[in-house]
Amino acid sequence: MSDDISDGTGFDEGPGADEELLEEELRQAASLLDPVPPALLQSAVDAFALRDLEARVAELTFDSLVDAIPVRGAAAAPRMLTFSAGEVTLDVEVTGEGLIGQVLPPAPARVEILTGPRPATTATTDDMGRFTATVTPSGPFALRLHTPDEVVMTEWLLT
């Protein structure tokens, strides 16, 4: 007598040869009838290449789209973002002309603005930790901060 107990559904067993053959046929049909767009595939490859296992992840602690109180009759204000990773804070203002930001505590740093399939734009902080970039993200973007001591990466956000 066997100790194996089956519920009769077949889910307790691994895939059989028929299921594997069907899966392969479906995969081939999908690649012919509904292929992955080249730009999306390139974005996925680039996103994987951009991973940095040594980087600390900066948490989004303030987003003016979510956290700010709207003011009636006020002109469209720039989007304000604050990211925190331990003692490091990154404040960013997203405007129609680009990004304005500050790293706190002030430190020499290089800030990469990652915008999906386009090449990263780099900005350098001044003595007060401030930086500007003339790129205005459209679509998903993230920031990677390189200080002398560490690398800090923000989560990806949509503009």
How does 17-43 read in b/e, with b if 16+ C-beta sit within 10 Å? eeeeeeeeeeeeeeeeeeeeeeeeeeb
Q: What pTM does this model have?
A: 0.64
Residue type, 112: E
Rounded CA-CA distance 21/36 in Å is: 22
Rounded CA-CA distance 35/2 in Å is: 46
Structure-token pair, residue 21: 């053959």
Adjacent-strand bridge partners of 155: none
Quick one: pLDDT at residue 84?
Answer: 95
Quick one: pLDDT at residue 119?
Answer: 79
How many CB atoms within 10 Å of residue 50? 15
Going 83 to 133 to 56 to 40, the CA torsion angle's sign is: positive
Quick one: pLDDT at residue 13?
Answer: 60
Q: What is the mean pLDDT of each successive set of 10 residues along the chain, which is 159 residues long?
A: 52 72 88 83 68 77 82 72 94 92 93 83 94 88 89 87
